[in-house]
Structures are given as C-alpha cells and as structure tokens.
Amino acid sequence: MADDKGLTPRADDFSAWYNEVVQRAELADHSPVRGSMVIRPWGYGIWERMQRALDDRFKETGHENAYFPLLIPMSFIEREKEHVEGFKPELAVVTHAGGKELEEPLVVRPTSETIIYSMYAKWVQSYRDLPLKLNQWANVMRWELRTRLFLRTSEFLWQEGHPAHATEGEAEEETRLMLDVYRTFMEEWIAMPVVTGLKSESEKFAGALRTYTCEAMMQDGKALQAGTSHNLGQNFSRQFGLTFQSEAGAEEFAWNTSWGVSTRLVGGMVMTHGDDTGIVVPPRLAPVQVVVVPIYRKEAERTAVVEKAHELAGRLRERDVRVRVDDRDHLNPGAKFWEWERKGVPFRIEIGPRDLAKEQAVLVKRVQGEGEERKAFLPENQIVAELAEHLEAFQRQLLERARARREARSHRGGETLDELREILEGPGGFVYTGWSGDPAVEERIKEETKATLRCIPDPAFRSPQAPTRCIGGGEARMEVVWARAY
C-alpha cells in the first residue's frame, strides 16, 4: 500500500475519512467511467462472503436464481407510470448499436421488474405455477449526479428478488419474510443493527403498494437505507398481462413482490465498524480472518520462523479458519502490521525466534474491548484450539458495540420542530416522534432540516409509550423515525 499517511480522523471529517479509508484499505477505486467503481479483490472478497450467506438463506426460503437481460425496451419502462417517473432522471439509454440508430431505445437496467414480469406472463398459466420465486444477482445502472464509492455509484452490484404470488396475503407474507431475512443477515453477519419498518408514501419504491426498509445508523449519526422489500400489488401484472387461472376457474392478476440489497452494504460495514486506523471487518465476512507474520532479524532465523508460521497456519485451516501467512521479504513487520490493520483483519499472529523456543506466539486483536490487552502471549496449542471461539466472540462484540452506539444516539420524546432541529444539528442520530400522517409535515421537515422520514418502525422498535402529539402540531396517528441520511 503506497500511501502511509494517517487517515483523516473521523471526528474531524467523517466523509473525508470514509473516502480515504475505502481506497487505502484497497476495497475499491474510481474507474475511468464517471461515477463507476472498480471493486478490488479485498472488497470483492467481502462482497462474495455477503453473497454466499444471503444466497444460502434465499434458497432455504424456497427461491431460485435466474438471469435476465441487461437491456430493457424503453416501452417496458414506460408502461408503469409511477415506475418511469421514479427512475427517468437516472436512466442510461442506448440509442445506437451495430453502426445504426435503434428502432426503439434500450434502457440499461435500473431494476428488472418490467423485463421479469413480461417473461412471467409467458410462463404462468395456472395457480399451480405459483408462487414463482426467482432471484438474480446482477449489475444495474442508475445515472447518479453525486457518487461515493459503494454508497452511491452509477453502476453497482446487487441481488433482486421478484416473486409472483396468487394472493395479496401471500405477497405480504413474502415481503415481510424477506425483510426479516435481511435484518437477520445484517445483524448476524455484518454486525450492523437495523431498525425495520414501513416507508411513508413519499419514500416508497416507485410503483409499489408498500415498501419496508432496514435502516442502519452510521457512526456519524446518519441513516443508511441498507435494504428494502416491496409489496408491488398487481400494478406490474396488469401492465404485462401476468394472469393465471385460479383454483375456482377465474382469470386473476398475480401479486408481485420485489426485494434487494447491494454493494452498499460494504460501505455500511465500513461506516459501522471502522476506526481511525482503518476498516474493521467482522470475522464472518473477512476474506482473511487471521494473518500470521513471521518476525526475524537474521537470515539464519528466517527458515525456521517461516516454516513454523506455515505450520501454524495449516493447523488453523484444519479448523476452518481463513488464514494467510505474510512472508513477503520486501516489507518489514511494522509495514505488514500497518497494512493488515488498515484492511481490518480481525486477528494477527506474530511469531519470532524466541516464540519458537517457548512454543508460543503473540495473538493481536484488531479492536480491543474495555479492559482487554492489545497483545496476548499464548501457547501455540491454545491459539489453535481457541481462535475460532475468539472470532465468534469478536463478531458478537462488534454487534453489541454498534447496537449500544445506536441506542445512545436514538432520541425519543421530541414534540416540536425546534427540538428535532436541535438534535439533528447537535448529536444527530435517530429521532422518534409522533406524526399525523400529513405529507405536508413530512415535506416541511425535509426542507427545513434536511432530514427524511426513515420509517414507521415495527413494534419491536417503537417507544414503550406511544407519542400523542404530531411533530408538526396536532394529534399523532403513529410514531416515526427521522434522520439525515446517505
């Protein structure tokens, strides 16, 4: 890693820290195409771990993977009025190919509802063909004006599930099921706690009946929409003729759902756990969970120390620990420590000539808990026997730290716009208030505070005592969460 300057401290400029750490941890870099990124092997390795964990859960819940085209006829996008209005400013359109102008422009997919449901209309005839539960892993293009690596890029990687169902009840059950799949994954794998709930009408997905969301709080107090699940009703089925013969013999339109998460989750991981040294990767997502660094001063010591490092690594691999030996000759141990800490590897093992004689090694944890020592001198056999347990404990610790941070910056009981503004301009975070449901109140708060209504939280996240006063005045019908967001 070429740049050895310290990172901008998070407390000084969180945005600058993020931009620096993503590149210097070798997660991604800017590409020659405006707004697009190159995901480097370390970043892609984290994304691969996310993919595998999610894909396993999708299949456990009865979904299959398929693939649909990158290019979508413009007429398909235009069939659903809300959908085209929501995406039109972000569309990338192909007008020429093969040396001539196309008869109909083609859109580089911003999302795939239209192309997928047009195919479902060919495949579904009877209620026996439902539910049809397909997912695809793909790239999409949304021409963003302001971009930031992982958080918002013109092209990004994601998965999009697009099932079709026979009844509204089945569609709603699917929508909530996948929201819970996302919540569980984010908490158990990314160690990123989220508040789940319903989006307001103005914030829901274009063309949906209802949108449910996972909202995570970053270290700077801003919200990150980490994943969404939509009940699309019958809107797309009506536009694409997706009908089926019911058990009673009637022709009915199918009920559709869609749900997706993207490489934005990598950015969420960085902003949830990173520190002024670099990123911190939760052990379940780390491509390398422990790096072994052999330390020697004399060439005569090298062979024995490096052999021991590889032997120790082999024993750890037998216990399913992902391990790498850094025996590069052109870097000194300090440079190696610096590089792997910047990349967020959960543990480091140092081993030198004195350790060989004592049959021990030094175990170093990336982030220390309260009262923990940074380094522990332990017998080799103990490290091998206990490292998997240490990794799981570290995973739990990261979740607990993030949850405690979120709760410390969750504010309840504010009743006026001035109180909301004071919190947002001060400590920031999630602000729970009452709301009448009036869109004018929502728009006013957005204009005056730059905060948006993140969600109407599920019961698990609501205040024990429901607010009775709307933040905009008058009686409250529900509790909502406000925050400034990425």
* Tens-place pLDDT, residues 215-271: 999 999 999 999 999 999 999 999 999 999 999 999 999 999 999 999 999 999 999
The H-assigned helical ranges of 346-426 are 353-358, 380-408, 417-425
- Give how far Cα 432 sits from Cα of 51, 179, 381, 448, 459, Å: 33, 21, 50, 17, 13
- The one-letter amino acid code at 124 reads V
Q: What is the pTM of this model?
A: 0.95
Under the banding of pLDDT at 50, 70 and 90, the label for residue 99 is very high
CB 447 within 8 A of CB 188: no
**What's the pLDDT at 81?**
67
Q: CA-to-CA distance for 352 and 290, rounded, in angstroms?
A: 17
Residue with tokens 């649909």: 68
For domain 14-273, the CATH superfamily is Bira Bifunctional Protein; Domain 2 (3.30.930.10)
Structure confidence by residue, pLDDT tens digits, 447-483: 999 999 999 999 999 998 889 999 999 999 999 999 9
Q: Where in the chain is the domain with CATH 3.40.50.800?
A: 290-390
Q: Where in the chain is the domain with CATH 3.30.110.30?
A: 410-483
Give the architecture-level CATH label for domain 290-390. Answer: 3-Layer(aba) Sandwich (3.40)
User: What is residue 465's three-state secondary structure?
Assistant: coil
100, with CB counted inside 10 A (0-12, 13-18, 19+), is: exposed
Structure confidence by residue, pLDDT tens digits, 400-432: 999 999 999 999 987 899 999 999 999 999 999
The H-assigned helical ranges of 189-328 are 235-240, 264-273, 299-317
Run of H or E including 50: helix 41-60
For domain 410-483, the CATH superfamily is C-terminal domain of ProRS (3.30.110.30)
**What's the pLDDT at 85?**
73
Structure confidence by residue, pLDDT tens digits, 116-135: 999 999 999 999 999 999 99
